Structure 1
Amino acid sequence: MATLADRLDHLLGVKAAEPLADAFDMHTVEDLLRHYPLRYATRGQPLTEELPEEGKHLTVVGRVTKTELRPMKNRKGKMLKIEFDTGAAKPIEATFFNGDKVSYLVREGVRAMLSGTVHWWRPDRWNLTHPDYLILPDKGDPTVENLTSVRGSGALRGMAQSAKGAQGVDVSFFEREYIPVYPATAKVQSWTLLACVRQVLDQLDPIDDPLSEQIRSERGLLAVSDALRLIHLPDRKSDIEQARERLRFDEALALQLVLAERRHESEARAAKPCPPRPDGIAAEFDKRLPFELTAGQRQVIDEIAADLSRTHPMHRLLQGEVGSGKTIVALHAMLQVIDGGQQCALLAPTEVLAAQHYRSLRTMLGDLGAAGELGAADQATKVVLVTGSMTAATKKAALLDAVTGTAGLVIGTHALIQDAVEFFDLGMVVVDEQHRFGVEQRDALRAKAKAGAAPHLLVMTATPIPRTIAMTTLGDLETSTLTELPRGRSPITSRVVPRTQYPKWVDRAWERIVEEVEAGRQAYVVCSRIGEDEEKGRGGKAKTKSDAGEPPSTAAVVDVFEALRTGPLAKLRVGLLHGRLPADEKDRVMRDFNDGSIDVLVCTTVVEVGVDVPNATVMVIVDADRFGVSQLHQLRGRIGRGKHAGLCLLVTDAKPGGSAMTRLEAVAATTDGFELAVLDLRQRREGDVLGAAQSGTARSLRLLSLLDDLEVITAAQELAREVVAEDPGLLRHPGLAGMMHAAVDAERLEYLAKS
């Protein structure tokens, strides 16, 4: 007998187990049984009157009623055409292109199984083209359980071989209505997996179910033992559906238990309450605002203010469209914490964004952010910037302001996480673009608070997150969403520019930039790579090996800059910005673009988030097919931030009708970030979202859809929080604890949170 924890090499033998380990990282019985069928071959139920679609895969059982061997027209050899009676009103036609080789087996009167693809060759005629076949004995034949050889081809022959035991081939298996077909490799075929699964199930002991009978009854779920058997060897369609329902719930519950544990640990910590003060810097900042906040901004500010007034730390996600006003909401929250006598840290993913935040927050605060300077307001605080490339003297001064408490607001990059950075009394951490940081990095910064206290946490993202994704990746955080755009935001029009088909359209894009600049406005040109140290081919493009299957060459930003500066934009002031420039030069270029000294900024994705130049109205994205959907949406959000409408041109060599072109057309068709986020996740597929590609293993969520299974995820979240509230650490629920640790490792959950 066997348990889920037993090793496959002990149960199946080393020869059978090693290929499973190499191909799928399978080592235990549970690893094998959690490798669910991809689909099911349906044993020949008589076809209904409904005609099958072109390309549909059919598996049928019946009898050969007619055969005809005829020469092929355009090549040597003969084809075998047969009629196959499945019990339907009309027989099925099938064609074999190696007729000479199969005619002695596939002959009139034999009973067989065929599995192939439907091909319509006339408006009223279709057949199975060169199907796999398996010769079956007649029902009632006394040798049915004791066939000593397999007569057939392709996958059906392989599956029959997998059913072969000491007594011969168990052909009765092929009388099953549903035969599982597994994700496979060239070295480990589906029928090999089927043979291993059948062997393991024959020896499997009853499984202790991690869900109580009461929970299963309330939710109408199968026992896990039944679900694992029926997912592999179902007798009817309802078996498959019920098994998937149970196993899908288990996957959702495992994730939610991890998040519920994290949430419980956070809520158990103590934090210094920071209630709003009517005479503080936050109230004074409100009075000075030159514009009216949206209703959504006011609502979120109130939600955060209530969180900050409690004695346990806030853990909140603030998401909203590009330009929805998240920064001012976060600043208001930080000022409330500063009113409480504590410091705030704002963590940004890049030096460009950190510097942009520093400049914009200083500008918004005015004399309220000028503590220690002449003319500072009475309630003023000090704002400092900490980045890795700052001069030693500048960084030393900023770190001194942080450790002494002189600075109420410290803005920085990953440099803030370093051991050398200390705070006098850190009360709040704000993480901008949370998907750029992991849980460990957030925790490293939060650990800089005083012993025994936990800082409040606000994470922000301009990449909209569908509700199910947020519940699954950030279930330990409360979520606030800004859906309105502040007054003053202008509409953005997007157009795809197919460079190969219409090269003159690209010329027109540069002309449009010239027209906008002549009208007093500015533009971006964004490229996908820097290219300084890369080997160049003709025309300034990186050399590629197309015959090796590498992606096509792309334009480097340094080359595009030179081409535009000396070509179509020669009369304009063109600047260059990318991540390899020295920090002081990056800062200078951004200042020049901000104040209008640069007309056109040729750049990489360093401007993807946080850059705010209201006068910029045009963006040309070169090789747009090399960017993801969310990244394109973020980049596009850099324009249309002022009183003039924005125009985004997506230049591409993607083929018409291809997936890349379809993706770009979808981006051009809508500015709804939530709609694009769903599209992005569907195209990337959820296995990538879960980190399977990142970790290099085949493990991921197999059945749970993070986009479609809202009801399942919600139910799992409710149960997980209920269980953890009653039993922190799951000491009284060892089965659930085991499920949590077995189904979701820390590395994959970490990647999930970043995706």
Structure 2
Amino acid sequence: MAALSDRLDHVLGVKAAGSLVDAFDMHTVEDLLRHYPTRYATHGQPLTEEAPEDGSHITVIGRITKAELRPMRNRRGSLLKVVLDTGSGQGVDVTFFNGDKVKYVVREGSRAMMSGTVNYWRPGQWSLNHPGYLILPESDDDSVAALTKVRGGGHLRGLAQSAKGEGGVDASFMEREFIPVYPATAKVQSWDVLACVRQVLDQLDPIADPLPEQVLAERDLLPVSDALRLIHLPERKSDIDAAEQRLCFDEALALQLVLAEQRHENSARKARACPPRADGIAAAFEQRLPFELTEGQHQVIGEISSDLSRTHPMHRLLQGEVGSGKTIVALHAMLQVVDAGQQCALLAPTEVLAAQHYRSLSAMLGNLGTSGELGAAEYSTQLTLVTGSMSAATKRAALLAAVSGDAGIVIGTHALIQDNVEFFDLGMVIVDEQHRFGVEQRDALRAKAKADASPHLLVMTATPIPRTIAMTTLGDLETSTLTQLPRGRSPIASKVVPRKQHPKWVDRAWDRIIEEVEAGRQAYVVCSRIGDDEEGTTGKRGKKAAAEKETPKTQAALEVFETLRDGPLANVRVGLLHGRLPSDEKDQVMREFNDAALDVLVCTTVVEVGVDVPNATVMVILDADRFGVSQLHQLRGRIGRGKHAGLCLLVTDAAPTGSAMARLEAVAATTDGFELAVLDLRTRREGDVLGAAQSGTTRSLRLLSLLDDLEVITAAQDFARQIIESDPGLRAHPGLAGMMRAAVDAQRLDYLAKS
């Protein structure tokens, strides 16, 4: 007998288990049983008096009344033309293309099962071309008798091999209505997995269900033992549905248990309270604001202020539309922490964004941010910027301001995480565009706080996260959402420009930019790549490989810059910005664009987040089909930030009826970031959303849909929090702990535990 925790080599033998380890990293019985079928093969419709539909899949059993070898007309080789008498009054024409190979098996007088796709080669005349087949023993009826030797080809042979035991093939298995089809590799086929699954299920001990009877009854769930059997060997469609319902809940619960455990641990940590002051920098800043905060901003500021006032660390996600005013909210939170005598660190993903934050926060604070300087306000602090490309002298001064405590707000890139960066008293960490950072980087910055307290954490994103995604990947974070746009934000119109069908429309785009510049406004031209041999690698092999690659069809920023500067935009001031420019050059270009010394900025996605130039009203995105939905929405958010309306032109060579064009049309049709986020997630694997890029893992969810299973995720979250509250660590619920480890791979658990 076998238990879920048993090693596969003990149950299947070293050879079979070794293949599963190499192909799928399976080690235990539960690893194998959680390798669910991706679909189920059926025998297709039975042959009746009515002719089958063209392209339909059928399986027939009968006797071969004709097997004739014929040479191919236009090439070497031969066809085997077969007629199969099914006893229904009509013969089925079958053609095998490798006639010389199958003629010794597919012979007149033999009984056979054949399964394939119906092909009409003339009206009323149909056949099966190169079907899977299995030669059957003699029988008085049309059922499949016991097979002692497998003779056949295609998928039927593989399935028969998987049903083979000591007494031969379990031929009854071949008549099942639903036969599972598994994820497979070149060396481990689906039927190899099936054979292993059947061997394990034959030996499996009864499984103690980790879920209480009350939960099973309330949600009408199968016991896990039944679910694991029926997902692999269903008798009917309802078996598949019931098994998936139970195992889907298990996956949701596994994730929510991890997040609930992390949430419980966070609540047990200690932080120094930072209550608001009526006479501090935060109050002075709010009084100086030249505009009215939105109702949503007031609400979120209140939520964050309440969190900061407590003695355990805030752990909050702030999400909002592009331009919804997250920076003001974050600055207010930082000033509240500074009022309490502690420091804040703002982590940005790029030097351009870090410098932009430094400039914008300095401008918003005025003399409130010039502590130690002549003319500083009574209540003030100091801002400092730390980036990797700063000069040694400038960096030394910035690091000294951080470690001495003179700087209340320290803004930087990944350079903040380096060992030589120390803080006097780090009270809060803010991570901007949180999806750009791995949890290890985030954790490294939080570790720079004093040992006796954890810093408060605020993570921000302008990429809207659907509720189910937030609940599943960020369930240990409280979530605040800004949906209102501040007053003064102008509408943005978006249009798709099909370059191949309407080349003159592109010329009109350049004319439109000139019109905006003549009206005193500015524009972006965004490219998907830099150019200048960026696709090659160093070394002789790299250069050779680059030379062998097909020349990219996309337009590069370097080429577009020269073309526009010397051509359509020759009479306006054009600048260039991309990620390979030295830091001081990038900063200089952005300053010139901010100060309207440049009219048009040709750039890459380095401007995707955080760049705020209210005077920019037009954006032309070249090769727009090369960008993701959320990325296009982020880029588009760089315009229309002032009093003038914005126009975004999505230039593409995509086919008019293709999926890429449909995606661009969808982006152009709405500015609702949450709607676009759902569209984005439906076009790619949900496993990506779970942080695979950050954690290095592959997709771990097999049945749960992060977009469609809100009710399941909500129920699992409620149950997980109740259990963890009463039993942290799940010591009294070993079954739940085991299910959690099995349903989510170990690396993924580590990733979630650190987030």
Same fold per superposition (TM over 0.5): yes
- Which residue is 1:566 aligned to? 566
Please state how far the C-alpha of 1:659 moved relative to its aligned partner.
3.3
Give the conservation status (yes or no) of the 8 Å contact 1:572–1:599: yes
Which stretch shifts more, 274-283 or 345-354?
274-283
Deviations 1:513-553 (A, max 9, x none): 222212211111122222345479xxxxx999899897944
Contact 2:443-2:754 at 8 Å conserved across structures:
no
Spell out, residue by residue over 1:216-259, the C-alpha distance to the aligned partner (whole angstroms, 9 max, x if none).
33332222222211111111222211211121111111111111
- Superposition deviation, residue 563 in structure 1: 2.2
Structure-2 separation of matches of 1:563 and 1:427: 50
Distance 1:169 1:142, change over 3 A: farther
Find the aligned partners of 1:731 and 1:52 in 2 and give their Cα distance.
59
**1:309–1:495 distance in 2 versus 1, CA, 3 Å:** same
Q: Distance in 1 between matches of 2:493 and 2:319?
A: 23
| Shift, 1:657, TM fit | 3.0
State the partner residue of 2:59.
60
What are the Cα deviations for residues 9-59 of structure 1, in whole angstroms up to 9, with x where unaligned? Answer: 343333333332222222332222221111112245658999987655x35
**What do you get for the CA RMSD once the two structures are aligned?**
3.5
**In 1, distance between residues paired with 2:475 and 2:722?**
14
Report the Cα distance in structure 1 between the residues aligned to 2:678 and 2:80, rounded to whole angstroms. Answer: 48
User: What CA distance in whole angstroms lies between the structure 2 residues aligned with 1:684 and 1:750?
Assistant: 24
Q: Residue in 2 aligned with 1:464? A: 464
* 1:625 correspondence with 2:625: yes
| Aligned position for 2:666 | 666
Provide the residue aligned with 2:539 in structure 1: none
Partner Cα distance (1:547, 1:54) in 2: 47
Quote how far apart the aligned CAs of 1:744 are. Answer: 2.5
> Which amino acid is 1:513 matched to?
I
1:684 is paired with a residue of what secondary structure? coil
Q: Distance in 2 between matches of 1:463 and 1:178?
A: 42
Counterparts of 2:273 and 2:481 in 1: how far apart (Å)?
24
**Secondary structure at the residue paired with 2:520?**
coil
The equivalent residue for 2:584 is: 584
Pair 1:381-2:381 in alignment:
yes
The question of whether the paired residues in 1 share the 8 Å contact of 2:259 and 2:752 is answered with: no
| Aligned position for 2:634 | 634
Distance 1:436 1:285 in 2: 30
Which whole-Å CA distance do the structure 2 matches of 1:692 and 1:68 have between them?
53
Q: How does 1:240-319 map to 2 (within 5 A)?
A: 240-319=240-319
Q: 1:10 to 1:590 in 2, by over 3 A?
A: same
1:152–1:388 CA distance, 2 compared to 1 (3 A): same
AA of the residue aligned to 1:259: L
2:187 is paired with a residue whose SS is: coil
CA apart distance, 1:84? 7.8
Matches for 1:435-450 after TM superposition, within 5 Å? 435-450=435-450
> Is the 1:319–1:480 contact (alpha carbons within 8 Å) kept by the matching residues of 2?
yes
- 2:172: which partner in 1? 172
Q: Does the CA-based 8 Å contact 1:385-1:410 persist in structure 2?
A: yes
Query: CA 1:6–1:141 in 2, change beyond 3 Å: closer, same or farther?
Result: farther
SS of corresponding position for 1:196: helix
> How far apart in 2 are the matches of 1:385 and 1:219?
54
Is the 2:31–2:742 Cα contact (8 Å) retained in structure 1?
Answer: no
Distance of 1:262 and 1:530 partners within structure 2: 41
1: CA distance, partners of 2:694 / 2:419: 28
Residue type of the alignment partner of 2:309: S
Distance of 1:173 and 1:578 partners within structure 2 = 61
| CA-CA distance at 1:91 after TM superposition | 7.9
Q: Which residue of 1 aligns with 2:201?
A: 201
SS of the residue corresponding to residue 134 of structure 2 reads strand
- 1:491: Cα distance to partner? 1.9
198-207 or 98-107: which moved more? 98-107
Assess, with a 3 A threshold, how the Cα gap between structure 1 residues 98 and 535 changes in structure 2: closer, same or farther: closer
With structure 2 as the length reference, what TM-score do the two structures score? Answer: 0.90
| Residue 361 of structure 1, CA deviation | 0.9
In the TM superposition, what is the alpha-carbon distance from 1:475 to its structure 2 partner? Answer: 0.7
Give the aligned partner of residue 368 of structure 1.
368
- 2:527 is matched with 527
Cα distance, 1:362–1:100 mapped onto 2, change above 3 Å: closer
Deviations for 1:396-441, whole angstroms, at most 9, x for unmatched residues? Answer: 2222222222222111111222222222222221111010112222
Distance 1:488 1:545, change over 3 A: farther
Aligned partner of 1:611 in structure 2 is 611
Whether the 8 Å contact between 2:5 and 2:29 is mirrored in structure 1 is yes
Cα pair 1:344 1:426 within 8 Å, conserved: yes
Residue in 1 that maps onto 2:473: 473
The 1:580/1:678 distance shift into structure 2, 3 A limit, reads same
Q: Among all aligned residue pairs of Structure 1 and Structure 2, give the percentage whose two residues are the same amino acid.
A: 76
Q: Which moved more, 1:457-466 or 1:213-222?
A: 213-222
Distance 2:630 2:209 in 1: 41
| Other-structure match for 2:725 | 725
**Distance in structure 2 (CA, Å) of the matches to 1:741 and 1:235:** 29
- Deviating more after overlay: 340-349 vs 316-325: 340-349
| Aligned equivalent of 1:148 | 148
In the aligned structure 2, how far is the partner of 1:97 from the partner of 1:727?
A: 63
The Cα shift of 1:272 comes to: 2.1
Q: Determine helix, strand or coil for the equivalent of 1:133.
A: strand
C-alpha deviation, 1:600, in angstroms: 0.9
Q: Distance in 1 between matches of 2:629 and 2:67?
A: 54
One-letter amino acid of the counterpart of residue 330, structure 2: A
**Residue identity opposite 2:387 in structure 1:** T
Seen in structure 2, the aligned counterparts of structure 1 residues 294 and 556 have a Cα distance that, compared at 3 Å, is same
User: Whole-Å Cα distance in 2 between the matches of residues 749 and 574 of structure 1?
Assistant: 49
Is the alpha carbon distance of 1:717 and 1:55 closer, same or farther for their aligned partners in structure 2, counting shifts above 3 Å?
farther
Q: What CA deviation, in whole Å up to 9, does each residue of 1:669-709 have, x standing for no partner?
A: 22221122122222221233346688777662111111111
- Tell me: CA distance 1:491–1:253, structure 2 relative to 1, closer, same or farther (3 Å): same
Separation in structure 2 between the aligned mates of residue 630 and residue 2 of structure 1, nearest angstrom? 47
How far residue 336 of structure 1 moved from its aligned partner, in angstroms, is 1.9
CA distance in 2: counterparts of 1:723 and 1:744, whole angstroms: 18
In the superposition, the TM-score normalised over structure 1's length comes to 0.90
Q: Deviations over 1:98-123 (max 9, x none)?
A: 49677998799987544333556789
Q: Which whole-Å CA distance do the structure 1 matches of 2:746 and 2:611 have between them?
A: 33
- Equivalent pair of 1:616/1:639 in contact (CA under 8 Å): yes
1:539: which partner in 2?
none
Tell me by how many angstroms 1:312 deviates.
1.5
Q: Contact (CA 8 Å) 1:43, 1:174: kept in 2 or not?
A: no
Cα distance in 2 for residues equivalent to 1:642 and 1:111: 79
Contact 1:21 1:27 in 2 (8 A): yes
| 1:528–1:554 contact (8 Å) kept in structure 2 | yes
**What's 1:163 paired with?**
163
- CA shift in 2, pair 1:754/1:604, >3 Å: farther
Cα separation, 2, equivalents of 1:649 and 1:120: 47
Distance 1:299 1:127, change over 3 A: farther
User: Match of 2:178, as an amino acid?
Assistant: Y
Helix, strand or coil at the partner of 2:152: coil
Q: What one-letter code is carried by the residue in structure 1 that aligns with 2:386?
A: V
Paired amino acid for 1:318: L
Q: For structure 1, which segment, 246-255 or 487-496, has the greater mean C-alpha deviation from structure 2 after superposition?
A: 487-496
Query: Residues 84 and 94 of structure 2 are in contact (CA less than 8 Å); yes or no, is this contact kept in structure 1?
Result: no
Q: Is the 8 A contact 1:46 1:86 kept in 2?
A: no
Kept after mapping to 2: 8 A contact 1:319/1:481: yes
Residue type of the partner of 1:356?
A: Q
Per the alignment, residue 393 of structure 1 pairs with 393
The letter of the residue matching 2:668 is: A
Task: Give the corresponding residue for 2:230.
Answer: 230
- Any unmatched runs of 5+ in structure 2? 537-541
**Pairwise CA distance, 1:193:** 1.4
Relative distance call for 1:751 and 1:311 in structure 2 (3 A) is: closer
List aligned pairs for 1:92-103, cutoff 5 A. 95-96=94-95, 98=97
Whole-Å separation in 1 of the counterparts to 2:48 and 2:241: 22
1:489 aligns with 2:489: yes
Deviates more, 1:603-612 or 1:272-281: 272-281
Aligned partners of 1:518, 1:544: CA distance in 2, in Å? 47
Could you tell me which residue of structure 2 aligns to residue 704 of structure 1?
Answer: 704
Once the two structures are superposed, residues 373-392 of structure 1 have per-residue CA deviations (whole angstroms, 9 ceiling, x without a partner) of: 22222222222211122222
Q: How far did 1:261 drift?
A: 1.3
Instruction: Give 2:717's aligned amino acid.
Output: Q
Distance 1:298 1:260, change over 3 A: same
